[in-house]
């Protein structure tokens, strides 16, 4: 019997109050959530222990360790700034991010990792720039590595709704 290929995605959200994870698989055209878990965080438990408690039951599922993985960290751990970028080229944009965000940073630019997302294809482009401390990213990646996970993406929790709001035209009316 031929093996049936599965595509799997593991999403992990590390929130201020809880850690949530969902394992999603596509097999033979059928999409399904295989496992989901949410663990409330407590001040008397180390983050690594809470993360392990949330993920271990999910990682026991077939294909979980081979899943494409993304992790979302609390948005309040990031510095965000929408800007009109002076360049189109990615290389130049990445070079200017530390300078553009420096006044808003809570640590030196050398201690931060930077990224951005284009909000449009205009010239000059609008971007949403973000920065987070390198040590925080390294800490989370270290915990996940011990659980045999290697996320392809590290992002901010709530970024999808925020990007939708940034792309919306200005609202008018009584609730604007």
- Long-range CB pairs of 84-91, under 8 A, 24+ apart, other chains included: 84/124, 84/125, 84/126, 84/127, 85/116, 85/124, 85/125, 85/126, 85/127, 86/124, 87/124, 88/123, 88/124, 88/125
CATH architecture of 6-74+135-156: 2-Layer Sandwich (3.30)
What is the per-residue pLDDT across 49-67, written as a single tens digit (0 to 9) for each?
999 999 999 999 988 999 9
What is the per-residue pLDDT across 78-107, written as a single tens digit (0 to 9) for each?
999 888 888 888 898 889 889 888 888 989
What is the per-residue pLDDT across 103-135, written as a single tens digit (0 to 9) for each?
889 899 999 999 998 888 778 888 889 999 999
Distance CA(87)–CA(55), nearest Å, equals 41
Supply the DSSP symbol for 169.
Answer: P
């Amino acid at each position: 019997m031929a093996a049936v290929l599965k595509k799997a995605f593991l999403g992990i959200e590390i929130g201020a109050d809880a850690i949530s994870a969902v394992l999603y698989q596509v097999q033979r055209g059928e999409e399904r959530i295989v496992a989901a878990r949410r663990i409330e965080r407590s001040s008397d438990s180390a983050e690594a222990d809470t993360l392990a408690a949330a993920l271990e039951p999910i990682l026991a599922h077939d294909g979980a360790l081979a899943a494409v993985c993304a992790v979302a960290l609390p948005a309040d751990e990031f510095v965000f700034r929408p800007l009109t970028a002076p360049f189109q080229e990615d290389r130049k944009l990445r070079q200017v991010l530390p300078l553009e965000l420096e006044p808003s940073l809570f640590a030196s630019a050398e201690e931060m990792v930077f990224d951005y997302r284009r909000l449009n294809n205009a010239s000059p482009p609008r971007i949403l720039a973000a920065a987070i401390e390198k040590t925080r990213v390294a800490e989370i990646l270290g915990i996940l590595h011990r659980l045999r996970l290697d996320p392809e993406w590290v992002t901010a929790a709530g970024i999808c709704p925020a990007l939708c709001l940034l792309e919306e035209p200005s609202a008018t009316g009584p609730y604007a």
